[in-house]
Amino acid sequence: MSKAKVATVWLDGCSGCHMSFLDMDERILDLAGKMDLVYSPLVDFKVFPEQVDVTLVEGAVSSEEDIEKIRHIRQHTKILVALGDCAVTSNVPSMRNPIGREAILKRAYIENVQVKPHLPTVDIPRLAPNARPIHEIVTVDAFIPGCPPHADLIYRTVADLLDGKTPDMTGTRFG
């Protein structure tokens, strides 16, 4: 029996969800018997594979690059999982939404800079007008709430998905 292809992706977030993923400790070895990690910031793969069975996505969709990336990932993923409150609700990244994209950029790159204040035109992705949860851009199959989600919840969800079960989210909450 072949192993499931699993990917993890980091959009606009703090990487706390990936740290919780690693907090599964030796249980990662249990999952490794059922899966191959084919793409992740935790490993050195550069190109998202053509077909992935399960992809866990951390972070909000906050830039034009994020929009393109999440659409590409959705096209090449059987089961897409929003991992953590930023992916589920856009949480902390959405705090910029009422302020506006231009005001945020001005504050970060002009008002708070001592040497050569300027708005960047290269090397950073163009911000989308608002930070948004993943499900507002593409269809999401499962949600793992938490900031960050507890390692036990991540483990149970991934284990259920690898076993072909629908994860039981009874009793889970945000935050």
Query: CATH code at 45?
Result: 3.40.50.700
Are 71 and 9 contacting, i.e. CB atoms less than 8 angstroms apart?
no
Please report whether residue 15 resides in a domain: yes
pLDDT at 115: 93
Q: In which band, very low, low, confident or very high, does the pLDDT at 122 lie, cut at 50, 70 and 90? A: confident
Q: Is the pLDDT of residue 175 over 70?
A: no
Q: What is the DSSP letter of 93?
A: G
Distance CA(112)–CA(115), nearest Å, equals 10
- What is the C-alpha end-to-end distance of the chain, expressed in Å? 38
Please report whether residue 56 resides in a domain: yes
Please report whether residue 144 resides in a domain: yes
Please report whether residue 110 resides in a domain: no
Share the mean pLDDT of the chain: 94
Are 22 and 57 contacting, i.e. CB atoms less than 8 angstroms apart?
no
pLDDT at 38: 96
Distance CA(158)–CA(161), nearest Å, equals 5
Q: In which band, very low, low, confident or very high, does the pLDDT at 169 lie, cut at 50, 70 and 90? A: confident
Please identify which residue in the block is written with the tokens 């089961």.
Answer: 79
- Mean pLDDT, range 153-157, rounded to an integer: 96
Kindly compute the dihedral angle of the four CA atoms of residues 143, 13, 45, 153, in this order, to the nearest 10 degrees: -30
Q: Position 117: which residue type? A: P
Read off the pLDDT of residues 16-69 as tens digits, 9 standing for 90 and up. 999 999 999 999 999 999 999 999 998 888 899 999 999 999 999 999 999 999
Task: Determine what percent of the chain is predicted with pLDDT higher than 90.
Answer: 86
Please report whether residue 167 resides in a domain: no
Least confident stretch, 57-66, 69-78, 87-96, 164-173: 164-173
Instruction: Please tell me the chain's helix, strand, coil percentages from 3-state DSSP, rounded to the nearest 5.
Output: 35, 25, 40
Please report whether residue 108 resides in a domain: no
Q: Tell me which residue range forms the domain holding 73.
A: 4-98+128-162
- Using CA of residue 126, residue 129, residue 135, residue 139, what is the dihedral sign? negative
Q: Domain total for the chain?
A: 1
